[in-house]
A = this chain, B = another copy of it.
Amino acid sequence: MRDAFHEELTRTREQLVEMTRLAGSAMARATTALLDADLELAESVIAADEAIDQMQRELDQTALDLLARQQPVATDLRVLVTGLRMSADLERMGDLARHVAKVARRRYPESAVPPELRSTVLQMGQVAERIVAKAGSVIAVQDVAAAVQLEQDDDEMDSLHREVFAALLGGSWEHGIEAAVDVTLVGRYYERFADHAVSVAHRVVYLVTGEWPVPQQASPTA
């Protein structure tokens, strides 16, 4: 009975890793859709979010079933409850990718990102893809060192986010209010995406070490 239980836990972990892959792919494609004003790609990201939502619902149901049937204690209990929280983070990351894609769709056939911010947004997309891939590795092998390293990616995201604000508020913004609104929202979506990835990694660290890594940093926009 316990063996079947641990097989289920392993399967849950694999599904969480798969969710990181889906969320990362969604954000990577949303970034391309945004920068290239690619409507078809934006639509595909928006449509694909349902698969992430569905995976969360399945994971939640499995976790509740396991809690009820197996009545796990100690580490097994913590693994299950942590899994519930990580799937919520990952589902939200999928939403944020969808939000970016919706900005791309709303501004089509224009790109919502002015030329001087293309490089910054491209990098935000790359950091987002990298940070969620690392979160996936952290889940897969419970790698505490990688979880710490991932904070550096989050710092990089914060730094890129500050670049966005510098471009907006530096006094030389020439793209009007609509572009300013879009860029403000998009910047926030990337930053929140990274925050959730950090949260996922912290949860794994907490599971392994019993200690929460560091106080979560305040967002630079808030």
Binding site for B on A (CB under 8 A): 64, 67-68, 71, 73-74, 77-78, 81, 84-85, 88, 95, 98-99, 102-103, 165, 168-169, 173, 177-178, 180-181, 184-185, 188, 219, 221-222
CA A85 to CA B85, docked complex, whole Å: 8
Contact B181 A169 (CB under 8 A): yes
Residues of B within 8 Å of A185, CB to CB, are 184, 188, 221-222
Residues of B within 8 Å of A98, CB to CB, are 222
Residues of B within 8 Å of A188, CB to CB, are 185, 188
Given A180-B180, A221-B185, A64 and B77 touching (CB < 8 A)?
Answer: yes
How far does the Cβ of A39 sit from chain B's closest Cβ, in whole Å? Answer: 16
CA A200 to CA B178, docked complex, whole Å: 33
How far does the Cβ of A179 sit from chain B's closest Cβ, in whole Å? Answer: 10
Query: Assuming A168-B181, A169-B181, what are 7 further A-B pairs, CB within 8 angstroms?
Result: A64-B78, A71-B71, A81-B81, A84-B84, A84-B85, A95-B222, A185-B222
Q: For A173, give its contact among B73, B165, B177 (CB under 8 Å).
A: B177
Report 21 cross-chain contacts, Cβ distance below 8 Å, ordered by A residue. Answer: A64-B81, A67-B77, A68-B73, A71-B71, A81-B81, A81-B84, A84-B85, A85-B88, A95-B222, A99-B222, A102-B222, A168-B181, A169-B178, A169-B181, A173-B177, A177-B180, A180-B181, A181-B184, A185-B188, A185-B222, A188-B188
